[in-house]
Amino acid sequence: MEDWTEQKAMDWGLHEECGVFGICDPAGNCAQTTYYGLYALQHRGQEACGIATINDREQSFYKDVGLVSDVFDKKTLTRLNGTMAVGHVRYATTGAGERENAQPLTIKYVKGTLAVVHNGNLVDVDKLRQSFEYKGAIFHTTSDSELIAYAIAQARLHCGSVEEAVCRATAELRGAFSLLVMSPQKMIACRDPWGFRPLCMGRKGEAILFASESCAIEAVGGKVERELDPGEVVVVQDGKVTSIRDNCRGLSHMCIFEYIYFARPDSVICGQSVHQARVNAGRLLAREHPVEADLVVGVPDSGLDAARGYALESGIPNGMGFVKNRYVGRTFITPDQQSREQAVRIKLSALASEVAGKRIVMVDDSIVRGTTCRQIINLLREAGATEVHMRVSSPPFISPCYFGTDIPNKEKLIACHNTIEEIRQIAGADSLGYLSMEGLHQLAPDAKCGFCEGCFTGKYPIEVKEE
């Protein structure tokens, strides 16, 4: 189901499908605000981005492959000015990364226009697409997000409002979807009934804001008001906010990896600081896997907070072991070993003045295939580290993700075919310790939600068919 390619497998770390941002502001200038909101969500997707706006009930949009700062300029944003806007940053987990799969998805149909932005993955995509095609649907993308847009448009033909269409359509969908839908008069925000992906709401003066993470609302000067509940549909029209809870089931299965890797550390998800969750993971790692060492270093960026926690708990000094090249986007590599190693060196270098002659605890968020961590450990050894003890702030991956994270199938997961000792030898570490499942359950004590841990357990909130 996932478009897991060799190119993605060799890219830097894991990725999550995308981030969404929306604003309703009678004062206008929504495109520029959305631009800054997407900038704050750039970590959630670097393949493509786009913005759609409504001005006097007329829809305009622009999208392309590339980073937010590359796709949009002042002239484009001025042309997009309006009183409502939705925006999207994309990393493809279903569908290829071409321009036609960029979002927002904009459609014109008998009832008018819609613009849809979506974070997550549906399951049973092939079956759903085939069902629509037999009814005459013609699809222009390979993204599952277009299925959502089509389902809403189809439902709208048989009900009295866009929000009712969203409720009807999403009640029939299975999988992860935090989405924003914009019609000429309304903006509708919706989370799937399982609550896999985050979505919050805030305000800035008279403006009403929606975003995948709280950091984006704060980045544009807004104040977070609350997070949408799983299954909730929120409608904004003429400054009035209405909540529809027909699809709410009282269940929650937030992706635990939002706290470990995906979200920005300054975000708060379900009441839990992401930064503090990562520090907690590091502290738990230090209790579970102590070691005598001289310095604790984190692999940028998500490993830094966990490394701080490990240092605080163990008493070992926390230092800067790596310098990350922040001007490198997606890695321009071919799938041969020499190119893979060169890609790591382009993005990361070890700080010899800090690590030479020392026993190092290296903290990272995960091990997927094992190739990248081996290369990073080699960087430390080449810089003069006498020992490298690897600590991982999550349990071993034993299953793929079907809900918007590009964790590959079991054939690609090193933990499915090797013991921890064998992984240690492959990585070239002096010792290796993963966070336990017990530790995983303790890293986010303030989170007011349940979690999806399927990638660590093979047990999912929704029944899925392995492909």
Please say whether the beta carbons of 269 and 226 come within 8 A. Answer: no
**What digits encode the pLDDT tens for the residues 304-350?**
999 999 999 999 999 999 999 877 654 333 444 555 566 778 889 99
pLDDT of residue 5: 34
pLDDT exceeds cutoff 90 at 200: yes
pTM of the model: 0.90
169: Cα separation from own chain's centroid: 24
Read off the pLDDT of each residue in 177-199 and give the average, rounded to a whole number.
96
Read off the pLDDT of each residue in 170-188 and give the average, rounded to a whole number.
95
**C-alpha torsion 159→165→170→173, nearest 10:** 60
pLDDT of residue 325: 83
Residue the block writes with tokens 């303030």: 446
Please say whether the beta carbons of 219 and 148 come within 8 A. Answer: no
Taking CA atoms, 114 is separated from 59, 107, 120, 166, 323, in Å, by 8, 5, 19, 11, 44
Structure tokens at 263: 């979200």
**C-alpha torsion 93→94→95→96, nearest 10:** 20
CA distance 34 to 248: 28
Q: How many CA atoms lie within 13 A of 358 on its CB side?
A: 23
From the candidates 18, 215, 270, 449, give the one annotated as an active-site residue.
18
334: Cα separation from own chain's centroid: 25
**Residue type for 129, please?**
R
Please say whether the beta carbons of 19 and 48 come within 8 A. Answer: no
3-state secondary structure of 148: helix
Beta carbons within 8 Å of 337's beta carbon, 6+ residues apart: none
Give the lowest-confidence range in 31-45, 167-181, 398-412, 437-451: 398-412
Domains in the chain (CATH in brackets) are: 6-251 (3.60.20.10), 268-457 (3.40.50.2020)
Q: 46 versus 292: which is more confidently predicted?
A: 292
**Residue type for 275, please?**
H
DSSP classification of residue 405 = B
Structure tokens at 402: 């079907």
- Residue 6: pLDDT band (50, 70, 90) is very low
Is 18 annotated as catalytic? yes
Q: What is the mean pLDDT of the chain?
A: 89
Beta carbons within 8 Å of 206's beta carbon, 6+ residues apart: 25, 26, 27, 239
